[in-house]
Amino acid sequence: MESETAPAATTSPEFTPEFTARRGAFASLLLTNGLLTLLTLGIYRFWARTRLRRFLWRHVRFMGDPLEYTGTAGELFLGFLIVLAVMFPLGALYGAIDVLAPSGVRAVGVTLELAYYAAIFVLLQIGFYRMWRYRMSRTLWRGVRFGLDGSSWQYLKLATGWTILTLCTLGLAYPWMKVDLWRYQVQHTRFGDTAFDFSGSGRALLPAWLGVIVPVAIVGGLMIHIGQTAAAALGDVQAFINNAPVLFYVAAGVSILMLPFTFLHYRVRQVRVCVAGMRFGPARFHSALSYWRVLASCAVTFGLVVAAMTPAVMWLEIASAGVPVDNVAGILSSAAVPIALLFLLTLLGVPLIVGAVFGFDMARQLVTSTTVDDAQAFEAATQRVSDAPRFGEGLADALDIGGF
Amino acid sequence: MTTGTGYFNDGRSARRFRVRVDIDGADVRIAGEDGRVLARWPLADVRYADPAHHEAPVRLVAAGSDERLTLDGDGAWLLTRCPDLVPRRRVGGKSLRTWIVAGALAALSMTGVFLVLIPSAARWAVSMVPPAAEAALGVTTRDQFVGFFARLGAGVCVAPAAEKLLARTVDELAAVMESPFKIQVSVIRFPIANALALPGGQVVVLSGLLDKAENGDEIAGVLAHEIAHVVRRDPLHVAVKRAGAAALIGLVVGDVTGGFLLSGLASAAIEGGYSRDAERAADLLAVAAMNALGLTARPLADFLDARSKASPVEGVVPEFLSTHPSSERRADEIRAAAQGSRRAFSPYEWQTIRTMCR
């Protein structure tokens, strides 16, 4: 008998979920999924996602028992077909904008464009909430289902209000928006008959968020200021750009280079605050997700992608050397192999590296950095009979949200 | 051995019950440590909880229930007695024939969507666009087009005398075809023999066409063909059709592994230009208009013949694959329908037009 199947651990007050997946198995799953998705021109993605989720869910163990994903690809496919009926007219509308926008009927073009983006925003919010509802309804632990109450319209209203406020405050309200939307999501998520709760505020994220937006604001302000003085002095911005002080470029460069680091730092803080505020009855959550480990994973992924792409790019350079850049047919014929290789790398290789390195690391770190105390509350939950959605995630699929 | 141990979730709570499991007739009997029977599952109903995962610790479920049984050890003593651990009706178990039929049906319906549904929906959409809007669109499209050639160093030829001559014939043809648009011809100085119709009555001629043409009647024929496209509103139809196809392909392909790229390629491949039917219809309309004006359409046929000899590549792609009917067939059809004999331009007029870009 394997020790991990024994229920002896239930007396311990604090639990860390285990992540039992191996990277090799995950990578081979990603590879077959990617190949089949490519060969079927994307239709396989519903089956691919279902296999991926079954894999990830089964490898998350809490108090000795794995999560279980019971969704099927057929449900995802059905959801896709239904949403096709909604999204196709919208896509056609977007095509019409392309046709009408430059045609001098400017007012019509602008109105259509605004209507299109408004519709996309609405569908994004609703799609996200419905996706979460579907996933929760297909997630079981010890035979008891998770679920999501609340309404996607309420979620949409909340998201709309916060988005307007965030825009009005030039982004300052962003962390409050994130935390408040998460609060709505968590408070309506339940395990069996018991709802989760959340207490926390975006204020805890303010320092990290300021670290993101203050450099941007400083450099933006600097650019405007220098641009204005230059324009006043020379009457010609172009002339100024040609003779700009080095400081200008250094400041702009540093702020652009810093952005990924500050934003990643913020995102890690956000995960920790969002996890730490969760409650399930007396059970409390804690996240020790490490910025440095996430950063290291990003760096390794980036390095591997560069290492994979560089030989192919160099090969392309060598093979097409001497052919004029505008001679497309010439380049295609003399460098067909490296071009095909680059194509394959972009479609299969890079997603595989990103998934198997960064994706795997994130799943593992998210799971294993979380601890739950007083976890016995989960054992006290009882099944609730409720209406679960019969099909799923069409909107999220069409809008490409949710990740996997 | 026909007994074992494990733990059980009763599907009503998330508690674990330590259990003894044995086979009792055609059932698996699950009993608590106190001996009380918690559940009986018919052996035929026992499934893997996760159909893709069969390794220890083995987790089982009774089909359709929320109860879960996790066995200690490998559980082989029980598993060998369960006939249906992986449900038979799963996707991977379908026969090859089912897949072929499903695939063929899917391909058929997709073909129907792209060849019938989108084109006819686009026809309807085009009929809803007021001609004034299409004319405005035509002007911007032409300006973009001219701008594109300007960046290549190719300008518009300005020659009022020649333009007046072209306009005379073009207006006659447009009037006979009852064009909803005023036809405007722009000649661009560029060494490729081509002419094309843009939305809203804009026709663009590349000056290579004037160099390659044997006489003015060939130009008149080509212009009649392009005006026929204009009158049929084919250019707008193609634009709308492409937008629709791109939108649909984008959705079907999704945006997982480079779906965006695939959708662009696929939509370009599916609808490269006018359909063969549109091309033939434009030929017939053009010839009918020329007949009505007494103009000779035979030079158009000669021109197509000469072009197909000049570019033998066209013969390589079989006709059913290419969007243009082969030039030979088009030329034959045009000759058969041509009735007029009047020349569109006098030799002197033709000389004026031919040299307008020099």
Q: Are B208 and B193 in contact (CB under 8 A)?
A: yes
CA atoms of B212 and B218, how far apart (whole Å): 10
Which of B49, B140, B247 lies closest to A68 in CB terms? B49
Q: How many beta-carbon contacts under 8 Å exist across A and B?
A: 154
Which has more confidence, B43 or A92? B43
A352 pLDDT band, cuts 50/70/90, is: very high
CA atoms of A393 and A137, how far apart (whole Å): 12
Residue to substitute from B7, B8, B13, interface A, most A β-carbons within 10 A = B13
Q: With a cut of 50, say whether residue B322 has pLDDT above it.
A: no
Lowest-pLDDT choice from A76-80, A257-261, B218-222: A76-80
**Lookup result for tokens 């004037």:** B210
Which of A58, A104, A346 lies closest to B140 in CB terms? A104
**Mean pLDDT, to the nearest integer, of A325-350?**
79
Phi first, then psi, for residue A322 (nearest 5°) are 90, -15
CA atoms of B299 and B343, how far apart (whole Å): 10
pLDDT for B319 equals 41
Q: At A67, which amino acid appears?
A: L
Kindly give the interhelix angle for B347-354 and B216-232, rounded to the nearest 10 degrees: 70
Q: Do A383 and B66 touch (CB under 8 A)?
A: yes
CA atoms of B313 and B244, how far apart (whole Å): 31
Spell out the residues 6+ positions from residue B59 whose beta carbon is closer than 8 angstroms to its own. A66, A68, B48, B49, B50, B53, B68, B69, B70, B71
Mind telling me how many Å the CA of A74 is from chain B's nearest CA? 9
Residue to substitute from A5, A43, A347, interface B, most B β-carbons within 10 A = A5
Q: Is beta strand B27-32 parallel, antiparallel or unpaired with respect to A197-198?
A: unpaired
pTM for this entry: 0.76
Residue to substitute from B7, B10, B15, interface A, most A β-carbons within 10 A = B15
Q: What residue in A sits closest to B134 (Cα-Cα)? A: A103
Which has more confidence, B154 or A330? B154
Q: Cis omega (within 30 of 0) on the bond before A89?
A: no
CA atoms of B324 and B273, how far apart (whole Å): 9
Q: Cis omega (within 30 of 0) on the bond before A282?
A: no
Q: Are B314 and B326 in contact (CB under 8 A)?
A: yes
pLDDT for B320 equals 41
**Mean pLDDT, to the nearest integer, of A364-369?**
95
pLDDT for A103 equals 52
A253 to chain B, any CB pair closer than 8 A? The answer is no
Lowest-pLDDT choice from A130-144, A170-184, B72-86: B72-86
**Lookup result for tokens 């016995």:** A376
With H, G, I as helix, E, B as strand and everything else as coil, classify residue B220.
helix
Q: What residue in A sits closest to B17 (Cα-Cα)? A: A7
DSSP state of B295: B
Which of B52, B251, B259 lies closest to A51 in CB terms? B52
Q: Are B81 and B45 in contact (CB under 8 A)?
A: no
Residues B124-180 pLDDT 10s:
888 888 888 888 888 888 888 888 888 888 889 999 999 999 999 999 999 999 999
pLDDT for A141 equals 94
Which has more confidence, A322 or A168? A168
Mind telling me how many Å the CA of B242 is from chain A's nearest CA? 8
Q: What residue in A sits closest to B8 (Cα-Cα)? A: A142
B267 pLDDT band, cuts 50/70/90, is: low
Q: With a cut of 70, say whether residue A239 has pLDDT above it.
A: no
**Mean pLDDT, to the nearest integer, of B206-228?**
91
Q: Are B41 and B62 in contact (CB under 8 A)?
A: yes
A2 to chain B, any CB pair closer than 8 A? The answer is yes
From the CA atom positions of chain A, what is the Rg in Å?
25
Residues B75-102 pLDDT 10s:
888 888 888 888 765 555 556 677 677 7
pLDDT for A156 equals 94
Give B40's strand partners.
B29
CA atoms of B150 and B140, how far apart (whole Å): 15
pLDDT for A250 equals 78
Which of A4, A383, A400 lies closest to B11 in CB terms? A383
pLDDT for A7 equals 47
A335 pLDDT band, cuts 50/70/90, is: confident
pLDDT for B263 equals 53
- What residues of A are in contact with residue B49 (Cβ under 8 Å)? 68
**Mean pLDDT, to the nearest integer, of B225-245?**
86
pLDDT for A402 equals 61
pLDDT for A236 equals 62
pLDDT for A359 equals 95
Q: With a cut of 70, say whether residue A336 has pLDDT above it.
A: yes
pLDDT for A51 equals 93
Residue B347 in tokens = 């030799």
Residues A44-90 pLDDT 10s:
888 999 999 999 999 999 998 999 999 888 888 888 877 877 777 77
CA atoms of B285 and B280, how far apart (whole Å): 9
From the CA atom positions of chain B, what is the Rg in Å?
35
Find, among A188, A198, A76, A64, the residue nearest to A136 by Cα.
A188
Q: Are A201 and A173 in contact (CB under 8 A)?
A: no
A41 to chain B, any CB pair closer than 8 A? The answer is yes
Q: Distance of alpha carbon A254 from its chain centroid, rounded?
A: 26
Spell out the residues 6+ positions from residue A339 whose beta carbon is closer than 8 angstroms to its own. A316, A331, A332
pLDDT for A329 equals 67
Residue B188 in tokens = 């661009």
- What residues of B are in contact with residue A74 (Cβ under 8 Å)? 91
| Other beta carbons within 10 Å of B225 | 27
A245 to chain B, any CB pair closer than 8 A? The answer is no
Lowest-pLDDT choice from A109-113, A125-129, A146-150, B31-35: A109-113
Stretch 302-341 of chain A: residues touching chain B, C-beta under 8 Å: none
- What residues of A are in contact with residue B266 (Cβ under 8 Å)? 41
Mind telling me how many Å the CA of A219 is from chain B's nearest CA? 34
Residue A104 Ramachandran class (φ > 0 left, ψ -120 to 50 alpha, else beta): left
pLDDT for A253 equals 81
Residue A278 in tokens = 């969760």
Lowest-pLDDT choice from A22-26, A28-32, A235-239, A372-376: A235-239
Q: What residue in B sits closest to A70 (Cα-Cα)? A: B50
A7 to chain B, any CB pair closer than 8 A? The answer is yes
Lowest-pLDDT choice from A44-48, A84-88, A235-239, B328-332: A235-239
Q: Do A58 and B144 touch (CB under 8 A)?
A: no
A400 pLDDT band, cuts 50/70/90, is: low
Residue to substitute from B59, B109, B251, interface A, most A β-carbons within 10 A = B251
C-alpha distances in Å from residue A317, one per residue of A302, A334, B164, B348: 22, 11, 51, 54
Cα-Cα-Cα-Cα dihedral of A383, A386, A390, A394, to 10°?
-90
Find, among B202, B233, B228, the residue nearest to B129 by Cα.
B233
Q: Is beta strand B202-207 parallel, antiparallel or unpaired with respect to B193-197?
A: antiparallel
A348 to chain B, any CB pair closer than 8 A? The answer is yes
